[in-house]
């Protein structure tokens, strides 16, 4: 199961899993999830992960539909930039729900079956902002740091049951969300979009290009495989050298 699987990183992971022979259930808020599911011969379950009850019901619907969840990819998310003093309370809470509480809920309800079968893979999409911070992203950075902590804790709790839990921490990935951010910042800063990419987003990076979604998907597929059976509680960076400083 892949949350936020209709576009970007989630879509790339869903397609990679399907190509590897998995039956993939995609969750997304938009109909792009249905389009991706149709393309790969999977299933689509629409739910808003900002709603705790909908999230709880989503996992149950997936279990009723397929009978089991062997691989869970907690990928859904969004960003909001604002100084702490200007950050709307409700927006802050919504972001934390989608990117931290919802992965906890999905993990909670998928785990019993994984433990019973003695095999499972949970892959959480964190970010370089799960390891470092940037200004104006208090909720996003808090959620991504929290996902790293959740990953490590659940890994310690489930290792003896054949379940591995890992996080992926990419830098900026070329997704519709990031491309929209580039366009917004270009307008606000009166810069060209290439200048925003090079001088703002990639300024701390050693490799000066955005990460492709397929690169992230390749790491996710490895972590879902038996070749990664001894890896758990890890945070895999795809950060263009960002955190080497």
Burial of 162 (0-12, 13-18, 19+ CB in 10 A): middle
Contact at 8 Å (CB) between 106 and 63?
A: no
Listed by start position, the domains of the chain span 2-173+211-239
Cα–Cα nearest to 143, from 87, 215, 61, 213: 87
pLDDT digits (tens, 9 = 90+) for 112-139: 999 999 999 999 999 999 999 988 899 9
Does residue 64 register a pLDDT over 90?
yes
pLDDT digits (tens, 9 = 90+) for 186-240: 787 888 888 888 888 888 899 999 999 999 999 999 999 999 999 999 999 999 9
180-213 as b/e: b if 16+ CB within 10 A: ebbeebbeeeebeeeebbeeebbebbeeeebbbb
Active site residues: 140
2-173+211-239 is classed in which CATH architecture?
A: 3-Layer(aba) Sandwich (3.40)
Q: What pTM, to 2 d.p., does this model score?
A: 0.94
């Amino acid at each position: 199961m892949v949350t936020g699987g209709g576009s970007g990183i989630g879509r790339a992971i869903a397609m990679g899993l399907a190509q590897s022979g998995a039956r993939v259930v995609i969750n997304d808020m938009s109909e792009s999830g249905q389009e991706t599911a149709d393309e790969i011969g999977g299933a689509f379950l629409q739910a808003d992960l900002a709603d705790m009850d909908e999230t709880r019901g989503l996992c149950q619907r997936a279990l009723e539909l397929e009978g089991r969840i062997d691989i869970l990819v907690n990928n859904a998310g969004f960003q909001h930039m604002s100084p702490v003093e200007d950050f709307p309370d409700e927006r802050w809470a919504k972001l934390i729900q989608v990117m931290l509480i919802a992965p906890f809920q999905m993990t909670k309800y998928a785990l019993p079956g994984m433990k019973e079968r003695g095999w499972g893979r949970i892959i959480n999409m964190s970010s370089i902002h799960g390891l470092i911070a940037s200004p104006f992203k208090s909720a996003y950075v808090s959620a991504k740091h929290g996902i790293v902590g959740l990953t490590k804790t659940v890994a310690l709790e489930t290792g003896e049951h054949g379940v591995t839990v890992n996080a992926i921490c990419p830098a900026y990935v070329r997704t519709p969300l990031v491309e929209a951010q580039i366009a917004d910042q270009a307008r606000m800063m009166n810069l060209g979009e290439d200048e925003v990419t090079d001088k703002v987003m990639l300024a701390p990076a050693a490799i000066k290009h955005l990460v492709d979604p397929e690169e992230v998907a390749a790491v996710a597929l490895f972590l879902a495989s038996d070749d990664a059976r001894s890896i758990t509680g890890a945070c895999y960076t795809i950060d263009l050298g960002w955190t080497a400083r």
